[in-house]
Structure 1
């Protein structure tokens, strides 16, 4: 009569073998290896309320620095004052829901919270891009501009900066 000796190494090898066999079986049945909506961010972004992700660049054209900038309930950072909001920064992988966005920020000098007078909308077409420029203007309006690269100032923002430099002798 043969005795069967199972060592810890042998048990571990059998366990790993079971895991590999289980994954292979799931792949063959399609349960674990089928494409998901997450593999294509635009595929999951077809209806209002769907989640999308952006790398966000904030551009403030306000006179004073701002902080606690929120878009759709997500904190996207802070930005300096004029003439062009400082060097800028980028928040990566920020999660948003498609649809209307409430936008607010706090003034770094007074601490007062301001809410945008408009409610910009994130659309499924915008979700096809990696970057989202959030542009805050002196009239307290906000523009959301999708881009495939680092967000640049808008034409409106460039004009605000030009006027600021002219009025401040720069």
Structure 2
């Protein structure tokens, strides 16, 4: 038979092990970082809205709108809608983020291209349009 002190010590040991395991999980491959997020679109056929990364809304308006969003390490699912229809788009390419890319960074921007591919840029400074995107917009305006 265990006395009251032994039961208490055993309970504390079990709780300590559980919290240790939970602590390790937060550093696992699926760790989450909270970052300022925004999006840029480089086409004029419609306006993208409700841009999401893994189901979490991000800002838009060519980098003018910003949200704080959870960003997980690993494969990203990028979706967005059209303002002139109910069509929902899913990025055709796969973007994978690593811990090294996200560590100590403040901002993440999703860049949506006319062929429905996306690019993600990560920085400590306010996100800017990509050269590729600006080139595409320049071609569209000619």
Q: TM-score, normalised by structure 2?
A: 0.74
Query: What is the alpha-carbon distance in structure 2 between the residues aligned to residue 114 and residue 151 of structure 1?
Result: 23
- The root-mean-square deviation of aligned C-alpha atoms, in Å, is 1.9
Q: Which one of 93, 113, 117 corresponds to residue 92 of structure 2? A: 117
Q: Which residue of 2 aligns with 1:39?
A: none
How many residues in Structure 1 have an aligned counterpart in Structure 2? 116
State yes or no: 1:94 paired with 2:69. yes
Instruction: Report runs of 4+ in structure 1 exceeding 3 Å deviation.
Output: 44-47
Query: What is the alpha-carbon distance in structure 2 between the residues aligned to residue 46 and residue 148 of structure 1?
Result: 22
Q: Which one of 34, 50, 58 corresponds to residue 68 of structure 1? A: 50
Query: What is the alpha-carbon distance in structure 1 between the residues aligned to residue 83 and residue 94 of structure 2?
Result: 23
Contact 1:47 1:98 in 2 (8 A): no
Higher relative contact order (CA 8 A, sep 6+): 2
Give deviations 1:55-114, integer Å, cap 9, x for gaps: 0121111221111211111111444xxxxx4x72111x3112110011111110012001
State yes or no: 1:131 paired with 2:96. no
Query: What is the alpha-carbon distance in structure 2 between the residues aligned to residue 119 and residue 98 of structure 1?
Result: 13
State yes or no: 1:58 paired with 2:34. no
Q: Which residue of 2 aligns with 1:152?
A: 128
Unaligned runs of 5+ in 2: 1-24
- Asked which structure has the greater CA Rg, the reply is 1
Query: What is the alpha-carbon distance in structure 1 between the residues aligned to residue 129 and residue 60 of structure 2?
Result: 16
Matches within 5 A, 1:12-31: none
Q: Which residue of 2 aligns with 1:32?
A: none
Question: Taking structure 1 as reference, are residues 45 and 157 closer, same or farther at Cα in structure 2, changes over 3 Å only?
Answer: farther
